[in-house]
């Protein structure tokens, strides 16, 4: 089977690699020539575990990438659209790339005179009703009534996570197929059952439910995080309280579940902040309200400042004090700093004239693009700690978890540690260094 993937960003390239690795012929398309030349050299434009190994295996065998959308549409039975739908300043989703792509696909379809029935699958996250009220009419208009007979649009949101994209895509907990057309439903079910040898859960639903599932899913997970962060901030104030113990216990209740209960400096990344803002905007425009999600958003906006409070509680005035930040990416195993809490925290500390040193295994180049020479980039954990008066852990990289108290004592001017990700065993650390851990009341 030949499929197309349009947009080779994080989702598109991960999807392309897994499809190609499972024997599907994939034609990937992107407009960014720099990105294409990197992929054609078997190098992923972003860091993601396993992706380069798969590229090495599949490129120019079952995966071909270039900028030729027309050829991609012509040769494919299913075209997965994975272009970005970033946030506008009011939180609404910017659908420009998606509309442009769908318009172009329709124009190319007009020129093709074969008998194929093609399905355009929208993987990009969109507000509910977008596909039926905007995308389908746009494609119908441009492709002179091919819709339903030779063309259909389907919603198939993606749930993969950065840092474990290949694993998530290879073993998805669920595949949602949102379509109102029987033929499309049959074809898409056949595609995914063959791809995963029937071993996965497929849910068939309507287009609008599929769109809503993606927003609701991400909103619920973000709410779980804000909820536990709220509890962590309360625990900070209660001597002897520990959010980790509380999260472990409530997570054992099968009605709650243990995942996404890790307190931290706030969620970031390319999805949660954007999708929460997008859902809130969608709800507001329709005259409804969702106070619970507003709180999720507000708690997350304030959470980085809880970490700054923890720093100032220990250091007092931070002017001219040297602070080391370990971890810049929005989570471990990625070089992505989109909406990363580290950006907000470093900006605020710089405004208060602190001196900042940073270290991250993967994200330093991206951070340099924002902060340039305003901060010091350390190649090693040791040099980042050297002469520092406070060390803040912002990302839970495994390398940071392995640091022993003696390293802080050896390299820092004063061994003050703010563990905003709970990577250290507080009982082991507390008698040796001055440690404040998020959600651990002292
Ligand atoms: C998320 C969704 O999980 C995924 O299904 C969707 O397709 C895209 O958005 P991603 O943004 O890659 O994936 O990462 P995720 O692991 O969900 O983490 C998002 C943010 O929440 C990170 O900043 C992470 O550090 C934070 N987080 C996550 C917590 O603070 N605590 C947790 O318990 C879990």
Given the residues 17, 271, 390, 391, select the one marked as catalytic: 271
Kindly list the protein residues whose Cβ atom lies closer than 6 A to any atom of ligand 1. Answer: 158-162, 218, 221, 225, 260-262, 264, 267-269, 271-272, 330-331
Domains 2-205 and 238-437 share a fold: yes
pLDDT at site 420: 98
The rounded Å distance from CA 260 to ligand 1 centre is 8
Closest CA to 268 of 178, 181, 343, 356: 343
pLDDT at site 13: 98
Read off the pLDDT of residues 230-247 as tens digits, 9 standing for 90 and up. 999 999 999 999 999 999
Q: Where are the domains of the chain?
A: 2-205, 238-437
pLDDT at site 310: 97
Element (H, E) at 152: strand 151-155
The two three-digit tokens of residue 313, written as one number: 């509680």
pLDDT at site 197: 84
Element (H, E) at 177: strand 175-178
pLDDT at site 176: 98
The rounded Å distance from CA 136 to ligand 1 centre is 31
Q: Which atom of ligand 1 is nearest to the CA of 270?
A: 11
Q: Which atom of ligand 1 is nearest to the CA of 259?
A: 33
Helix, coil or strand: residue 72 = helix
The two three-digit tokens of residue 94, written as one number: 């910017």
In terms of phi and psi (left: phi > 0; alpha: psi -120 to 50; beta: otherwise), the region of 186 is: alpha
Neighbours of 321 (CB within 10 A): 22
The rounded Å distance from CA 272 to ligand 1 centre is 7
b/e map of 199-217 (b: 16 or more CB within 10 Å)? eeebeebebbebbbbbbee
Q: Which residues of the chain have pLDDT under 70?
A: none
Instruction: Just give the CATH number of 2-205.
Output: 3.40.50.720
330 contacts 396 by C-beta, under 8 angstroms: no
b/e map of 259-281 (b: 16 or more CB within 10 Å)? ebbbbbbbbbbbbbbbbbbbbbb
CATH topology of domain 238-437: Rossmann fold (3.40.50)
Read off the pLDDT of residues 365-386 as tens digits, 9 standing for 90 and up. 999 999 999 999 999 999 999 9
The two three-digit tokens of residue 49, written as one number: 């575990």
Per-position DSSP letters for 10-53, written without gaps between them: HHHHHHHHHHHHTT-EEEEE-S-HHHHHHHHTT--SS--TTHHH
Report yes or no on whether pTM surpasses 0.75.
yes
């Amino acid at each position: 089977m030949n499929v197309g993937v349009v947009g080779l960003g994080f989702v598109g390239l991960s999807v392309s690699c897994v499809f190609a690795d499972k024997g599907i012929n994939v034609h990937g398309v992107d407009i960014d020539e720099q990105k294409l030349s990197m992929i054609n050299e078997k190098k992923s434009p972003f860091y993601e575990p396993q992706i380069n190994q798969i590229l090495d295996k599949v490129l120019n065998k079952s995966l071909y990438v270039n900028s030729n959308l027309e050829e991609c549409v012509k040769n494919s039975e299913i075209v997965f659209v994975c272009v970005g739908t970033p946030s506008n300043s009011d939180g609404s989703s910017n659908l420009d790339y998606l509309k442009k792509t769908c318009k172009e696909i329709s124009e190319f379809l007009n020129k093709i005179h074969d008998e194929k029935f093609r399905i355009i699958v929208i993987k990009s996250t969109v507000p509910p009703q977008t596909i039926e009220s905007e995308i389908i009419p746009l494609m119908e208009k441009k492709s002179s009534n091919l819709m339903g007979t030779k063309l259909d649009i389907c919603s198939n949101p993606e749930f993969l996570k950065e840092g474990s994209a290949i694993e998530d895509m290879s073993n998805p907990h669920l595949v949602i197929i949102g379509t109102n057309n029987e033929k499309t439903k049959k074809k898409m079910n056949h595609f995914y059952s063959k791809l995963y040898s029937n071993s996965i859960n497929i849910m068939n639903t309507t287009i609008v439910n599929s769109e809503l599932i993606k927003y609701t899913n991400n909103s619920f997970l973000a709410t779980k995080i804000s909820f536990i962060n709220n509890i962590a901030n309360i625990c900070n104030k209660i001597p002897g309280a520990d959010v980790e113990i509380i999260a472990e216990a409530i997570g054992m209740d099968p009605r709650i579940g243990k995942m996404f209960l890790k307190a931290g400096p706030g969620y970031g990344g390319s999805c949660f902040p954007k999708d929460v803002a997008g859902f809130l905007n969608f709800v507001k425009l329709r005259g409804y309200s969702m106070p619970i999600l507003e709180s999720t958003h507000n708690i997350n906006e304030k959470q980085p400042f809880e970490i700054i409070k923890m720093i100032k509680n220990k250091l007092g005035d931070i002017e001219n004090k040297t602070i080391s930040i370990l971890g810049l990416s929005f989570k471990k195993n990625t070089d992505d700093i989109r909406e990363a809490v580290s950006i907000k925290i470093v900006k605020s500390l710089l405004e208060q004239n602190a001196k900042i040193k940073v270290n991250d295994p993967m994200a330093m180049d991206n951070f340099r693009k924002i902060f340039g020479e305003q901060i010091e980039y350390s190649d090693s954990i040791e040099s980042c700690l050297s002469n520092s008066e406070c060390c803040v852990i912002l990302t839970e990289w495994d390398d940071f978890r392995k640091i022993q108290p003696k390293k802080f004592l050896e390299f820092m001017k004063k061994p003050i540690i703010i563990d905003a990700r709970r990577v250290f065993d507080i009982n082991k650390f507390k008698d040796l260094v001055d440690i404040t851990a998020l959600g651990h009341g002292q």
